[in-house]
Amino acid sequence: MAKNKEETVLITKDGIRHDGRKREDLREISFEVGVLDRADGSCLIEWGRNKILAAVYGPRELHPKHMQMPSQAYIRCEYRMATFSVPDRKRPAPNRREKEISKLLGEALDPALFTYLYPRSVIDVFIEVLQADGGTRCAAITAASLALADAGIPMRDLVSGVAAGNLSGKVVLDLDDIEDKEGEGDLPIAYLPNLEKVVLLQSDGIFTPDQYKEALDMLVPACKKVYQLQRKAITDKYSQINDAVQKDIDAEAKAKPAKDKKKADESKAKDDKKDKKKADDGKKSKADKEDKKKKGLKKPSKKKDDKKQASKEKEAKKD
């Protein structure tokens, strides 16, 4: 449970936060891409104590048909929190907050995708928050964009999200649950780092115009930092695949000379066997011929002698 405001010093005069971070520090972020076998693309993100799974299915034909868009794909996003993801058990039925986050995440992902390539289709993005600790919508969109890339869906850019907050008048980055609940404001954004385009911007609580500007000035470089981690996660995955394929190619190339030699030896042995058989057959037929010849000299044909004898008797009778 969150402590009372009186008990928690969210930020010291020196700008050190309750968990030891400085104002612009992000929590530790790690990604695992392609964690689900049955999804077309997936990503598990661990951002501080947040644990969020994103899975992508599609593009595939959209049903019901009346929801189909003739000139583009529909990005259908579903953000859910597991009942065990928060300190107080969350009711399993989707609540208003989840519906709102689902809608805005889908809208924020849309500009990153070439949706016109898949008219009448749907790209489903499922987000399951397994453990929540503040900033889940930013972590969710960051993971979802990696899951889309993992699914091989053509993209203009990745989407990176970070939130800024207002703690006792000081602008900070990446609020955790306590800071989110006890701070004065929360300003999450999602950003296309290469196109330099903000695709999601929400604001909850109090920010002066200066604080608002300061927050945006801190958020853009922070999103670019997150983007570098995303890029590394996806390139690491594909370089692993590349390495595995290269290993197979090398092993095959190594095995080829030995394979060829074995093949050549086998065909030589076959030829030798054939030659030997031919020679044996030749010898045998020669021996048979000689044998027959010998037999022919020793024994004149009995049939011939009988015929001669019969004709002699016939002539004698005539006489």
Q: Which is nearer to ligand CDP, 86 or 216 (CB)?
A: 86
Give φ, ψ of 9 to 5 degrees.
Answer: -90, 105
Choose, by CB under 6 A, the member of 27, 158, 186, 189 that binds ligand CDP.
186
Q: Which is nearer to ligand CDP, 150 or 186 (CB)?
A: 186
Whether the bond into 209 is cis, omega within 30 of 0: no
Tell the smallest beta-carbon distance from residue 80 to ligand CDP (Å): 11
| Count of residues near ligand CDP by CB under 6 A | 13
Contact call for residue 182 and ligand CDP (CB under 6 A) = no
Q: Which is nearer to ligand CDP, 46 or 133 (CB)?
A: 133
Tell the smallest beta-carbon distance from residue 178 to ligand CDP (Å): 9
> 126, 74, 73, 123: which is closest to 101 by C-alpha?
126
Non-local CB neighbours of 117 within 8 Å, separated by 6+ positions: 73, 154
* Positions in 31-90 near ligand CDP (CB under 6 A): 86, 90
What is the C-alpha separation between 216 and 214, in angstroms, rounded? Answer: 5
**Would you say the C-alpha torsion 104, 152, 140, 42 has a positive or negative sign?**
positive
Contact call for residue 132 and ligand CDP (CB under 6 A) = yes
Element (H, E) at 269: helix 209-298
> 29, 32, 70: which is closest to 50 by C-alpha?
29
> 50, 54, 112: which is closest to 80 by C-alpha?
54
Q: Which is nearer to ligand CDP, 97 or 278 (CB)?
A: 97
Non-local CB neighbours of 128 within 8 Å, separated by 6+ positions: 52, 53, 54, 55, 80, 82
Q: Single out the segment in contact with ligand CDP by CB under 6 A; choices: 130-138, 221-229, 231-239, 282-290.
A: 130-138
Choose, by CB under 6 A, the member of 3, 5, 89, 97 that binds ligand CDP.
97
Q: Which is nearer to ligand CDP, 45 or 151 (CB)?
A: 45
Give the 3-state secondary structure of residue 300: coil
Q: Single out the segment in contact with ligand CDP by CB under 6 A; choices: 133-141, 145-153, 227-235, 303-311.
A: 133-141
Contact call for residue 185 and ligand CDP (CB under 6 A) = no
* Positions in 134-163 near ligand CDP (CB under 6 A): 134-137
Contacts with ligand CDP by CB under 6 A lie at: 86, 90, 97, 132-137, 177, 180, 186, 188
